[in-house]
Amino acid sequence: MKKKSHYDSPLGGITLIADETALLGLWFDWQPGYADDDSAVLGDSPTIDAAK
């Protein structure tokens, strides 16, 4: 299952998408549309936590 989470980094807001094994992508807030993935559910995962 893909998870999607938002992170307020020192460089600006970032949306991260990951599955059980890998980070699939990350997009800054100023990149509209890139993080639109309807199959990803909101939430954190160990992969997303490691990326943050």
Q: What are phi and psi of 11, to 5 degrees?
A: -90, -5
The pTM for the full model equals 0.85
In this predicted model, what pLDDT tens digit does every residue of 14-52 receive, in sequence order? 999 999 999 999 999 998 777 778 889 999 999 999 999
d(C-alpha 6, C-alpha 25), whole Å:
12
Predicted confidence at residue 33, as pLDDT, reads: 72
Q: Which residue has the tokens 């970032």?
A: 14
Predicted confidence at residue 6, as pLDDT, reads: 95
Beta carbons of 6 and 52 less than 8 angstroms apart: no
Looking at the DSSP bridge assignments, the partners of residue 27 are: 15
Predicted confidence at residue 38, as pLDDT, reads: 82
Beta carbons of 2 and 38 less than 8 angstroms apart: no
DSSP one-letter code for 32: T
